[in-house]
Amino acid sequence: MIHEILYHPTEAMVGMDLVENLDEEYIELRNLSEAAVPLYDPAQPSNRWQLSEAVQFVFPENVVLEAGGYLLVVHFDPIADPIALAQFQAKYGLGPGLPIYGPYVGG
């Protein structure tokens, strides 16, 4: 289930302008069940869960949301941009064990 959405974080100063800080936005999913949930069809692993409508994101292959677990989907690419990932983790006090995926498109 979608547990939390942060869609309009505090704006950032760029020069003399306030701009929307998209790198602080996130969508949090939580598994409320007592069993792990694969975010793909085990019979056809290429059929993966996705977010659509306001944002678009297709989960990578073989992602499993552990029982009672959380994951985040963010606007930036946490693999390609480790600096943005470190800043995001520091901003929200997140440890390295929380799965973070991205980037999503849209808003």
Tens of pLDDT, residue by residue over 16-69, are 877 777 788 999 999 999 999 999 999 999 999 999 988 999 999 999 999 999
pLDDT tens sequence across 73-89 = 999 999 999 999 999 99
Q: What is the pTM of this model?
A: 0.87
What mean pLDDT do residues 2-12 have?
74
Domain coordinates in residue numbering, the chain: 2-106
Element (DSSP H or E) covering residue 45:
strand 44-48
pLDDT computed for residue 98 by the predictor: 97
